[in-house]
Amino acid sequence: MEYRVEELGVAAGLPVDTIRFYQARGILPSPRRVGRTAVYDDSHLARLRQIRSLLAQGFSLALIKRVLDRGEDASAEPLVAALVQVRVGERTYSRAELAREAGIPEPLVQAAQGAGLVEPMRIGAEHRFSDADLEMAKTALSILEAGFPLGELLAIAGDHARGVQQISERAIDLFDRFVRRGEDDSDRSAEITAAFRRILPAVTRLVALHFQRTVVNRAIARLEGRGERDALGEALAAVESARLEVSWK
């Protein structure tokens, strides 16, 4: 069956602007042109329904594009289900709900979103936040309460977020190349999912430990360089007794 964009929107239950947005992002293939008219078909409708389904499960548009470009059946793949569980958790929150649950002003959540510190999922026309976003918001509040200036803290956090995004893309590429091996993995889905569940907590702990060690070493070096012997002794004692805890739910 063939559709004009308005007819496709009615069939898919989506505004025309949303369809054009998906097309511009490369998630929806371009239509066929008949003269000056854009003509869509049932494959476009099926794709839009897949996009809506994945958005409802909590996928970001970037991840949806990766999944659909590979031609995978996201609803049936155990690895995708594991990703959804990690990304979403048990419930999602609007921005107002996240602010209320975390005990912080909603404009602060908006500022964190603008800095790239929280990345909400888009479900229909609404942005929703995950349990992980809630935990990060609560933790950020405890750091702010130590007296850090909000503007400078957001700037540092934004730089960190951009670096993490770049490293994460490279890490995902490594997983694709050496664990998934860039091939049809339908016969290895359980093995790959188990590897993902095993590796992700290990990587999370590794990154946290490395960050802690780096901060401590730099702080001690600065104290030592200033000749602050009393403060240096207290810092060394605190480090010796400290134990970093990284829990995984």
CA-based nearest residue to 44, from 27, 61, 63, 57:
27
pLDDT, position 76: 46
State the burial class of residue 49 (Cβ atoms within 10 Å of its Cβ: 0-12, 13-18, 19+). middle
The answer to whether residue 80 is domain-embedded is: no
Among candidate residues 178, 202, 231, the one where a domain is terminated:
178
Residues 6+ apart with CB under 8 A from 96: 106
77 domain residue, yes or no: no
Q: Token match 């010796």: residue?
A: 240
Encoded tokens for 25 = 């992002």
Boundary (domain end) residue, out of 23, 42, 72: 72
Q: Where does the pLDDT of residue 2 fall: very low under 50, low under 70, confident under 90, or very high at 90 and above? A: very high
Domain that holds residue 42: 1-72
User: How far are the Cα atoms of 62, 94, 109, 135, 231 from residue 103, in angstroms, in the given order?
Assistant: 30, 14, 11, 11, 34
Q: What is the mean pLDDT of the chain?
A: 80
55 against 187, higher pLDDT: 55
Q: How many domains does the chain fold into?
A: 3
Most confident of 53-67, 71-85, 186-200, 231-245: 186-200
The SS3 assignment for 187 reads helix
What confidence tens digit (pLDDT) does each residue in 179-204 have?
887 655 566 777 888 888 889 889 98
pTM: 0.57
Residues 6+ apart with CB under 8 A from 42: 1
In a domain, 78, yes or no: no
Residues 118 and 139 both lie in one domain: yes
